[in-house]
Structure 1
Amino acid sequence: MDRSWSAAASPLALAAAACSLVVGALAPAQGARAEPAAGTVELEAVDVQGPAGGGQDQAGGQSGAFVQTETSAATKTDTPLIETPQAVTVITQKQLEERNVQTLSQALDYTAGVQNNFGYDPRFDSFSIRGVDVTTTGLFRDGLRLAGSSFSLFKTEPYALQNVTVLKGPASVLYGATPLGGLVDMTSKRPTLTPFREVEFNLGGYQRYQGNFDLGGPIDPAGVFSYRLTGVFRDAGSQFVGLPDDRQIIAPAITYKPDEATTFTFLSEYGNILTTANTSYWQTAPGQLTKLYSGDPNFGTLAQTQFRIGYEFEHKFDETFTFRQNVAYYHVVTDGKYVDIADVDPATQIASRVTGRVVDHLGTLSADNQLHVKFATGPVSHQVLLGFDYSNTLLNEKVGYGDAPDLFIGSIPPAYGGQFIPSPVYSSYTEQFQQDIGVYAQDQARFGPFVLTLSGRNDWVLTKSQDFVGQTDQTQKDQAATGRVGLTYVSPIGLAPYVSYSTAFTPTAGFTAEGEAFKPIHGDQKEVGVKYQPDAFKGIITASLFDIHEYNVLSTDPNNDLFQIQTGEIGSRGFELEAVMNPLPGLDVTLAYTLLHLRIIDGDAGTVGNVPSGIPSQTFSTYGDYTLQPGSFAPGLGAGFGMRYLGKSYGDDQNSFVNQPVTLFDAAVHYDFGQLDRRLEGLRFQVNATNLFNTRYSISQSGFGYWGQSRMVIGSLRYRW
């Protein structure tokens, strides 16, 4: 075979309602949050999310900063981004707050190389990195795996996060089973020695009412113990008729720091989520998406209960040796009920319908042990990392299919929710256990301006699958070595060209619709790029070229969108340009451009040589936010504006129809009342609009069609003290 390939509700009404909240809340207060200069720690600030005893977060960035120039995610050591031989994006808490991000997918909207796989979907955070789907195998929390199945994914609440780091390209050498496109590591909010309190109320479209709180500080006078308690309570509707987008999250954390050498942090989270289980609409033909929603509120909810518990331990023996151990267990119970339209009779305006139900129990235990050694051999300084990690995942899944009563669609809107819909009998009952044991080593050797990164790893994976209905058992053992070599030249003017080669290995938990276990995904990437960190202002600019080959690729099953299939080999080549900058006091700017050339090199009949569906070949985004500084006519008043361009993509792997390009706009306006009156310090009002002009667009993938998110306006009132 030739494997070569060529290169809402009314915004005015919401604003008025939010303004009335502001007027009612004006009262004497104290505890300001002034705008900090880049790289500084403001004494009056309460927005400090570092570990106890420090002013930096786990990834090394300054709290409250828009630009972060260090991260531990790419190398598991605190390494400047400019020295890391791969493209990395860090989305700080300030960026999340400026856009009032509501989902993880929304947090990644302005990141180069990241593509949203679906339209508006409150069920899952689904996206690709460099054209490779990372939804079920590429999500990490505090450096540990969040394994997922096709219907059970740990739901991420952005308000509970300190930052989000996107590693682009293979990261298996340090993290084990991960996709070739990269991974997303989310850092939880954690205790701090700076006392603070925050409460926030959000009011938005689709009857959204949400309250947030974030509390933290020392427990004892000596600061040996400190705590963090974060919570979210939301009652909301959605774009889907009669279906909710509700959420309750509580996340306690405690840090024990008996001395400067030892830190133990307990992290936990519990959540209940209730939303829709079906986001699709009826198509009269491929690509001809109608406004006829396929679901039904009488049998259409996805209810999920989840919890996560774990700890991070670090002990520094001396200037040479540091030991770290991170452990976490999380569990997800999901019950998804859905109705789908099977056919429509135009003459009678009757839609025949089917039902489905998926009940999952998914649990994962992960542990990562690291020994970090710093030493020098003559003029060469070394940071050596030796690691041993372990994870196991158990997925228990029941699936049933049935029929639903016909629906008359001649009325506008159709009479959703007017009929009793019985739950189907389970026809599939499977269980899968997967265990991954990995050992890895890394050396970051620096000689003058050169940084050489060498990494190697070996994984042993055991997968056991059982079909209780078919009474069959499968056992699969996989073993693979992965590696990375990268070289960076850090010039005196802040310019750093780099080159790297890396491989990845991804055993995946889950089954095809026929009950067969997935084979491991594997492949490699070549990357060359340049980074620039200017002296004149705070910022990091990255340009990169990459070439990925991926084998045993997962994609949505064209016959059942609740399941996935493996399509063979895919090639992904591309160019990325990204800038995150704070060029002037009060001005924050992001810019991201992606040019992606995807090809199915080996796959199903009729798809070889085609472009995988649902992923645009070009994307461009930019967002800027400016706050008027002291001495101006209205200090404390600010506004943000963003643009997102999604280029053309194909609606199925046969490339039989096209998703048209679309340009979307986002905006924000905010005001710090502490600039008006010192008694109001800590009070902030903000309004954010996503898809400001309510542009209607659709995205089809694997032949299934989804509408994008319509305009969403959210007004928020926050008080920090």
Structure 2
Amino acid sequence: MDKSCPYPFSLICRRVGLGMGWMLGCSLVLPVSPGWAQTAETIPFRKTDERRYDFDIKAQSLTSALGIFGRQTGLQVSFDAELALGLRAPALKGRMTESQALQQLLQETGLEWTLTPERTLLLHRPQSSNETMNLTTVNVLAEGHQESAYGPVQGYRATRTSTGTKTDTALRDVPQSIQVVSRQVLEDQQITSLGDALTNVSSIQRANSHGGSSESFVIRGFNAVTYAIDGMLISPLVERPEAITDMASVERIEVLKGPASVLYGRGNPGGLINLVTRRPTFAPEASLKAQTGTYGFHRLEGSFSGPLSDTFAGRLSMAWQTKEGFRDTFRDNRHTYFAPTFRWQPSADTLLDAGLEYIDQSSQFDRGLIPTNGKIHLRGDRFLHEPWSRDKADKVSAWYRIEHQLNDWLTLRQMTRWDDSNKDRFVVDLRDLASDGRTLRRRTTHGDEEVRTLDMQFEAIAKFATGSIQHTALVGYEYIDGHRWLKNRRGSLASIDIHNPVYGARPGPLSFNGKYELDLQSYSAYFQDQIDLNEQWKLLVGARWDKTEQYNTSLDSDNNRTATDIDPTEVSPRVGLVYQPTDWLALYASYSSSFSPQGDIDRNHKALDPETGDQYEIGAKLDLIPDRLSLTLAAFEIIRENVSAPDPTADEYSIQTGEQRSRGIELDISGQPLDGWNLIGNISVINAKVTKDSVIKENNKRPGVPTFSGSLWSTYQVQTGKLKGLGLGGGMIFASEREGDIENTYNVGGYTRFDATLFYDLGQRFRVSLNGRNITNRKYIETVAGTDGNYAGEPASVIATLSAKF
């Protein structure tokens, strides 16, 4: 608590700055005469700016409704908390001024209002001529949480999203399943990787980590090799993210289930992961964290934000991490992260955010375990490479986002992101087993890779009405310029006995093996309309046109050059309908599509047609406990067509093998059932298989996809008494049997893992916590992704954390 200003006005001090906050907060402690509301220091609300806003606030408690009203209008709302006890506000919908909106919200409360020059809205009861307005117990609602799709989530339960529509929209208004992992979930579980965070979302499994240097996932049965940051996909040319991202700058993680091409262009049909980053704030804040744990884990993390001037704010997020791991002969994996961001807000109508991101990592290259006789029999810590096998990567990104509200119905924005990455690999590649079933052939590869991407998006958002029907229309244009260069040399390396490994082999002479260059220009135009037909029915329609011009060249070890032109044009539609019979239930149905250009060529040296995906989804979104606990139930079918596979007669070429299908039901739940009790959980049932193919057997299961999977995590923190601040929690993660490859030549068993936490808050600023993972020391295979991507789950481990917030 800030001792320079009395409680509860220390909240105001932190919100608007120590200087102005101290003057405003401390002045409110003084009694106010009955004529105070009519002096020049305050203005009657009905005389304020008559600008019109589009409101859509459901019927709810007066406190919550006024909080949303304040966020939309930019007003800071203050009142005695007792004034709102038991009061509810009616639904507010339509285009109106601040005054008209407030009249409707307060029409049955009997409350009056005034407005300070700083646009702080003060509520009070009507006063007689001999009464004094006593504001000594004013509570500042603006310090309470008012959620934005681009900002923090209070607790575990999110209510708004930007990923599903590229607009700030209520989750219940989007006709597709969208799940959000909040910052508090990351903190309570002490999560440092995207993979660990996504265990909190249904129908997601880890996929190939490319030797431990990256992260990719399987969503609803299909591989997702990339993700978005603040709504912009990273390079479309990569086969996996160039480096492992860090959670230090992540505010929330949103997962849009199913195809997302209408808004994001090329992509897989299973879904889209979007990382929403932490933005600079004009209220000073800082957080620090120090962690240490088993298997040589050490991490320092910090994030600092605050004003640099009246219109300029900045944030700096940093992290440094090292980990030895539990695998034999593992050396330190090192990861450094640095991300400064800036915000300039010269007026209420204009906002500019910009930032940089730097990642530097060095990791032991490790393809994991190999199967024998249809199973993985090796110990989880068995290492089949050499201690010198390593992967280094660095990445620099720069971005900005400018948004200007041109008038009361039209907003313009422009976003640009530039990525530049370099990767250096000196690694051991695993080949195949000899006939004795234990001698593994290997080779050495030295590879260099560079990736450069420029992504520019131009968008306009218009809010208007046609009669009684409200529209939020989005029109956009995107241009992407991408380049990727790869070069590698290869050499011999001694084989290794997988059951009795002896290390120390050195690579033989390296010779040129190949060089690849990929150049991409992509042009896209897209349109979306969110249509409120009435208070209960909402329609979403959209479509995207994409034109891709990609030129690939390759040079093999015999200096044979191959060139491929890829120039598909695709149109991706999307339509969905939401029915909301009550304010706690939303039913929806939708269709969405995806496409992904392919660089593979057939025996005629012609590029394959793009992969396409179509999803049909129905579902329900419920508030089991209003404003506390929410649930999403979804059923879906995804059909993926034009799938590429190696040509069985010439493995340097590819063929389009046909069709794959994923059907499933999933449930996600999150929220705070009671004060101090938080929970997040999910469960899914999926059948993902090959339905048509000329090479792969029909009905083969998709690799890495369990039929049953899910997780549950819950914490409780004591709210009163001598043990106030003490918290404990735990959870479980489970998955059933999974196939290892599309040919279904091997599989791995299911597992259930248990985690736990114990934490204690020392006042409002410090927390100490102890997190245990896999506390029963279960031996299991966590990731299965072909013969070069199988990884055992980590044995029982502990992480101790000391964190501070200021």
TM over 0.5: yes
SS at match of 1:568: strand
Aligned twin of 2:57: none
3-state DSSP class of the match of 2:573?
Answer: strand
- Map 1:445-524 → 2, pairs under 5 A: 445-448=531-534, 449-469=536-556, 470-508=560-598, 519-524=609-614
Matched, 1:82 2:167: no
Shift in CA distance, 64/518, structure 1 to aligned 2, threshold 3 Å: farther
Residue 311 of structure 1 pairs with residue 395 of structure 2:
no
Q: Secondary structure at the match of 1:267?
A: strand
Q: Deviations over 1:483-541 (max 9, x none)?
A: 11111012224111001111111225689999996652212111111111245342321
Alignment match of 2:184 (pick from 94, 97, 100):
94
Q: Deviations over 1:584-636 (max 9, x none)?
A: 111111121111011212335242221112211111211101111123x4111
- Do residues 253 (structure 1) and 341 (structure 2) align? yes
Corresponding residue number in structure 2 for 1:16: none
- How far the C-alpha of 1:447 sits from its partner, in A, is 2.0
Aligned match for 2:421, one of 332, 335, 338: 332
Structure 1 residue corresponding to 2:302, chosen from 213, 229, 240: 213
1:69 equivalenced with 2:159 (yes/no) = yes
Structure 1 position 366 matched with structure 2 position 455? yes
Partner of 1:227: 314
| Whole-Å separation in 1 of the counterparts to 2:653 and 2:734 | 29
Supply the AA of the counterpart residue of 1:702. G
Match of 2:368 in 1: 280
Contact 1:459–1:479, Cα closer than 8 Å, also in 2: yes
1:720 maps to 805
* Aligned counterpart in structure 1 of residue 643 of structure 2, from 553, 556, 563: 553
Q: Which structure 1 segments of 5+ residues have no match?
A: 1-28, 675-680
- Write the distance in 1 (CA, Å) between the matches of 2:596 and 2:280: 34
SS in structure 1 at match of 2:196: helix
Higher RCO (CA < 8 A, seq sep 6+): 1
Assess, with a 3 A threshold, how the Cα gap between structure 1 residues 657 and 63 changes in structure 2: closer, same or farther: closer
Deviations 1:231-276 (A, max 9, x none): 0011221233233321001000011110110001112101101112
Q: Tell me: CA distance 1:119–1:348, structure 2 relative to 1, closer, same or farther (3 Å).
A: closer
Aligned residue for 2:567, secondary structure, equals strand
Letter in 1 for 2:528: Q
Question: Could you list the runs of 5+ residues in structure 2 that have no partner in the other structure?
Answer: 18-70, 75-141
- Give the partner amino acid of 1:637: L
Change (3 A) 1:127 1:548: same
2:323 aligned residue: 236
SS at match of 1:504: strand
Distance in 1 of aligned mates of 2:497 and 2:683: 46
How far residue 555 of structure 1 moved from its aligned partner, in angstroms, is: 7.7
- Aligned equivalents of 1:313 and 1:557: distance in 2? 47
CA drift at 1:690: 2.2
Q: 1:481 to 1:612 in 2, by over 3 A?
A: same
Q: CA deviation at 1:552?
A: 3.1
Which of 684, 697, 701 is the equivalent residue of 2:780?
Answer: 697
Contact 1:150 / 1:564 at 8 angstroms: preserved in 2?
no
Structure 1 residues 687 and 557: CA distance shift in structure 2, 3 A:
farther
SS in 2 for 1:170: coil
- Paired residue for 1:442, among 528, 545, 551? 528
1:146 has 2:234 as partner: yes
- Residues 432 and 509, structure 1, Cα contact 8 Å, conserved in 2: no
Residues 192 and 285 (structure 1), Cα distance of their counterparts in 2 relative to 1, 3 Å cut: same
- Cα distance in 2 between the residues matched to 1:361 and 1:57: 39
- Counterpart among 692, 700, 706 of residue 610 in structure 1: 700
2:410 is the counterpart of 1:321:
yes
Deviation digits for residues 270-289 of structure 1, max 9, x if unmatched?
11011122232244433233
What are the equivalent positions in structure 2 for 1:374-413 lying under 5 Å apart?
A: 374-407=463-496
TM-score by length of structure 2 reads 0.77
Name the structure 1 match of 2:350. 262
Give how far 1:64 is off. Answer: 4.2
Alignment partner, residue 39 of structure 2: none
* SS of residue paired to 1:105: helix
Residues of 2 paired with 1:108 and 1:288: CA distance?
25
Q: Distance in 2 between matches of 1:392 and 1:329?
A: 10
Larger gyration radius, structure 1 or structure 2: 2
* Residues 420 and 451 in structure 2, CA contact (< 8 A), matched pair in contact too: yes
In the alignment, what sits opposite 2:676?
A: 586
C-alpha change, 1:62 and 1:211, in structure 2 (3 Å) is closer
CA deviation string 1:549-568 (max 9, x = no partner): 11233689999x99999653
Residues 74, 562 of structure 1: alpha-carbon distance in 2 compared, 3 angstrom cutoff: farther
Per the alignment, residue 432 of structure 1 pairs with 518
Contact kept? 1:122, 1:245, Cα under 8 Å: no
- 1:615-694 maps to which residues of 2 (within 5 A)? 615-631=705-721, 633-674=722-763, 681-694=764-777
Deviation (angstroms), 1:668: 1.2
Structure 2: distance between partners of 1:569 and 1:135: 19
C-alpha distance in 2 between matches for 1:85 and 1:347: 55
One-letter code of the match for 1:77?
A: T
Q: After superposition, where does 1:292-311 map in structure 2 within 5 Å?
A: 292-298=382-388, 300-311=389-400
* One-letter amino acid matched to 2:404: H
Against the structure 1 CA distance between its residues 656 and 102, is the aligned structure 2 distance closer, same or farther, given a 3 Å change threshold? same
1:297 is paired with a residue whose SS is: coil
Structure-2 change in CA distance of 1:114 and 1:516 (3 Å): farther
**Partners in 2 of 1:348 and 1:112 — Cα distance?**
38
| Structure 1 counterpart SS, 2:683 | strand
Aligned AA for 1:659?
V
CA contact (8 A) 2:242 2:395 kept: no
With 274-283 and 449-458 compared, the bigger mean Cα shift is at 274-283
1:392-423 Cα deviation digits (max 9, x unpaired): 22111113332113457786xx443x343357
Give the SS at the match of 1:290.
Answer: coil
Aligned length: 668
Most deviating of 362-371 and 346-355:
346-355
SS at match of 1:496: strand
1:424 deviation in Å? Answer: 3.0
CA separation of 1:522/1:344 partners in 2, compared to 1, >3 Å: closer, same or farther?
A: closer
Tell me how far 1:61 sits from its aligned partner. Answer: 5.2
**Matched residue of 1:491: which SS?**
strand
Determine helix, strand or coil for the equivalent of 2:424: strand
Aligned partner letter, 2:777: N
Q: RMSD of the alignment, in Å?
A: 3.3
Q: Tell me, in whole angstroms, the C-alpha distance in 2 between the residues paired with 1:424 and 1:30.
A: 64
Counterpart of 2:267 in 1: which secondary structure? coil
Alignment check: 8 A CA contact 2:600 2:644 kept: no
- Contact 1:120/1:707 (<8 A) preserved: no
Paired with 2:769 and 2:647, the residues of 1 have a C-alpha distance of: 42
Residue type at the aligned position of 2:791: Y
Q: For residue 490 of structure 1, give the secondary structure of its aligned residue in structure 2.
A: strand
Structure 1's 564 and 305: CA in aligned 2 closer, same or farther, altered over 3 A? farther
Match of 1:25 in 2: none
Cα distance in 1, alignment partners of residues 256 and 318 from structure 2: 28
User: Quick check: 1:537–1:583 contact (8 Å CA) kept in 2?
Assistant: no
Per the TM alignment, residue 357 of structure 1 is displaced from its structure 2 partner at its CA by 3.0
Amino acid of the structure 2 residue aligned with 1:460: K
* Cα distance between partner residues in 2 of 1:702 and 1:62: 38
